[in-house]
Amino acid sequence: MNKLGFSRELRLLTPEDYKNVFQQAHRAGSPHLTILARPNDLNHPRLGLAVPKKQIKTAVGRNHFKRLVRESFRLKQADLPAKDFVVIAKKSAQELSNEELFKLLDKLWHRLSRPSRG
C-alpha cells in the first residue's frame, strides 16, 4: 500500500489493462467526466485514470482531480463489482467543487455497479 492507502493491486498499471477497458466497456458519463467499466477476472475492482493536459491544464489541477477520484473509489470499493474502471476527465471537471465531484462520482459508481442489461 502506498501512503494514500491505495494498493497497487487496485490500480490499472499497464497499457494492456487500459486497452482492455477501452475496447469493450460499459460507459457512464456526465458533461464533466466519463467512467468506463469492464468486468475483470479478479475478485476486486481496479481503478485507472485518464486526465489529459489538454482537458485540465495545470499539474496542480490534474493531481487534485486524481486525488479526489482515488478517494471516492477507496470509499466505494467495497460496494463495487469486480470490474476495471477508467475515469476520464473533461475540461469542465476542474470547475466542480469537491462536494459536487464526490456526488457525481457516487452516482456514476452506482450506475456502473448495476448488473449489465445484455
How high is the pLDDT of residue 117? 54
- The C-alpha angle 31, 34, 35, rounded to 5 degrees, equals 150
Regions in the chain scoring below 50 on pLDDT = 3-4, 118
Give domain 9-113's CATH number out of 3.30.230.10, 3.40.50.1100, 1.10.3720.10, 2.40.70.10.
3.30.230.10
How high is the pLDDT of residue 91? 95
How high is the pLDDT of residue 7? 66
Please state the pTM of the whole predicted model.
0.89
How high is the pLDDT of residue 6? 58
Cell match 501512503: residue?
A: 3
Cβ atoms within 10 Å of 23's Cβ, excluding its own: 9
- Distance, in Å, from the CA atom of 22 to the CA atom of 9, rounded to the nearest integer, reads 19
Cell match 448488473: residue?
A: 115
- Distance, in Å, from the CA atom of 36 to the CA atom of 26, rounded to the nearest integer, reads 6
What does residue 6 show for φ and ψ, rounded to 5 degrees? -125, 100
How high is the pLDDT of residue 8? 65
The x, y and z cell numbers of residue 68, run together, are: 479526489
